[in-house]
A and B are shown apart, each in its own frame.
Chain A
């Protein structure tokens, strides 16, 4: 049973379809990445799902509640650049957000204590938000989105403005979150999507152009590319690679070889046996094709 079902969702701003007949379902306990280049309509889609922009046409239905139109109580939302009141402390803001969502004073202090712990802000909880760093604000943003235990958590570009450490923390947090709720997050960084999500929705120019489990989408790829580099380039390596069965193309760029193959397993076995037999000093072996980047580029350029 799906948690949310979206049908023909469309949003038109001055005759331009920013979101164009998008339909998908979200299932409980899954982490879904909403991918797409900038301006693809990701944020608008999330805002409609968050319930504070009305779609021009189409429907969003929560299986919890088909009657009421206001489903904001089931949704936790973190905007791309969350901003807070600088004069309020992190803890106070969580109290405010929780009470707005209908929690009692008692519930909210319980909950905010746990959340501050979850996002590692226990010590900073009493400090005014004006003194917070960007990463701390992002984490507080996640905490405020979770305060009312929503069924669906939506994060708009949660990691794109963070440094590598902050990014790692937030990705780990997302992994935690999907234990209790459905997570939908938008990103244009494909690695992040691959790392934590099971399913992807790929948007371009307002349209949903690809959707499904990552493994399935990857399986639709016809060919695979292996990227190779060597500490010391063996003689005639270009020719030797080309002789391998199922290899049909080898390109070289700055000492890195992109080897396109039909059968990944056979090609991989051959390459490794050659590495042993002929003592190739391999420094890089990477399967680059079938990654989201490939799918992404193909789908967007279609």
Chain B
């Protein structure tokens, strides 16, 4: 099937340019970075020896759910940045280099081309996210106390909906612009605008995909899944679908020069 051929090619490409190696590693590192530095902070300060005798160092240890949230907030910044950068040239780069013309001269369906690419990056994102959060969960349990694995998984799945939308946005911009740098820039700007708008108009934008992180924090603290997190997740997936459909149409109508 044509779709699997395209997906396989994408997976091979990202394997050969080591994305399948470094992206999961970086996701693991950014997930555990804060946990470890927080845990060892008293020792770090002590060994730096900057404080006068008699100073009482009293840094409260975060609860397990707070610890995991630190990972989510790192992923929400650096993770999104990385996802944007690795996928910024997936279509635009092929158009720019000219290999797109060879592909297009074959009876390739635009739908297969766009969704194959989208899915390959989605898989990479899922694997990296799960590995990163698993590492974070491991260190949380080791250093800060117990948190159910199932709770981590459910939080990860909801968070994945938000990252799915990020990838879909990058793919859409890929079909509009030729410069990968511009695509990454606009994608990040879009995510920032979404987040800021959601913060300002939070009371009416309860279903905004950017709210997912906030709901995850509630979920980790209380263990309750609000109806609103479902709304946000569904809206995120619907918007992703819309981006992908729009990307297919844009690519079909795009003139190549």
A contacts, CB < 8 Å to B: 13, 47, 50-53, 70, 72-73, 75-77, 79, 81-85, 87-88, 96-97, 99-102, 141, 144-145, 148
Task: Identify 22 residue pairs between A and B in the complex whose beta-carbon atoms are under 8 Å apart, listed by A's number.
Answer: A13-B255, A51-B105, A53-B255, A72-B107, A73-B107, A77-B102, A77-B105, A82-B101, A83-B98, A83-B102, A84-B99, A87-B13, A87-B16, A87-B17, A97-B102, A100-B2, A100-B5, A100-B106, A100-B107, A101-B106, A101-B107, A141-B102
Neighbouring B residues of A141 by C-beta, 8 Å: 102
Neighbouring B residues of A70 by C-beta, 8 Å: 107
Closest residue on chain B to residue A52 by CB atoms: B104
CB distance from A214 to the nearest CB of B (A): 28
- Residues B107 and A102 in contact, CB atoms below 8 Å apart: yes
Q: Mark contacts of B56-70 with chain A using CB atoms, 8 A cut-off: 1 yes-contact digit, 0 otherwise.
A: 000000000000000
- Residues B107 and A82 in contact, CB atoms below 8 Å apart: no
Closest residue on chain A to residue B98 by CB atoms: A83
CA of A93 to CA of B99 in the docked complex: distance in angstroms? 11
CA of A126 to CA of B99 in the docked complex: distance in angstroms? 19
Q: Is B204 an interface residue (CB 8 A)?
A: no
- Residues A53 and B256 in contact, CB atoms below 8 Å apart: yes
Closest residue on chain A to residue B4 by CB atoms: A99
CA of A50 to CA of B104 in the docked complex: distance in angstroms? 9
- Residues A85 and B106 in contact, CB atoms below 8 Å apart: no
Q: A85-B13, A96-B5 are in contact. Are A72 and B106 (CB under 8 A)?
A: yes
CB distance from A79 to the nearest CB of B (A): 5
- Residues B99 and A50 in contact, CB atoms below 8 Å apart: no
The 10 lowest CB-CB distance pairs between A and B, nearest first, are A77-B105, A83-B98, A100-B106, A72-B107, A99-B5, A52-B104, A101-B106, A73-B107, A79-B101, A87-B16
Q: Is B55 an interface residue (CB 8 A)?
A: no
Neighbouring B residues of A51 by C-beta, 8 Å: 105
CB distance from A291 to the nearest CB of B (A): 33
* Candidate in A52, A97, A100, A145 with the most chain B CB atoms within 10 angstroms: A100
Q: Mark contacts of B74-105 with chain A using CB atoms, 8 A cut-off: 1 yes-contact digit, 0 otherwise.
A: 00000000000000000000000111011111
CA of A84 to CA of B99 in the docked complex: distance in angstroms? 5
Closest residue on chain A to residue B112 by CB atoms: A100
CA of A254 to CA of B130 in the docked complex: distance in angstroms? 80
Q: Is B108 an interface residue (CB 8 A)?
A: yes
CB distance from B93 to the nearest CB of A (A): 10
* 13 further contact pairs, Cβ within 8 A, besides A88-B9, A97-B103, A148-B106: A52-B104, A76-B105, A79-B98, A79-B105, A82-B101, A83-B102, A84-B99, A84-B102, A96-B5, A100-B6, A101-B106, A102-B2, A144-B102
Neighbouring B residues of A50 by C-beta, 8 Å: 105
Neighbouring A residues of B99 by C-beta, 8 Å: 83-85
- Residues A96 and B9 in contact, CB atoms below 8 Å apart: yes
CA of A51 to CA of B255 in the docked complex: distance in angstroms? 12
Closest residue on chain B to residue A82 by CB atoms: B102
Closest residue on chain A to residue B96 by CB atoms: A83
- Residues A81 and B98 in contact, CB atoms below 8 Å apart: yes
Q: Mark contacts of B2-33 with chain A using CB atoms, 8 A cut-off: 1 yes-contact digit, 0 otherwise.
A: 10011001001100110000000000000000
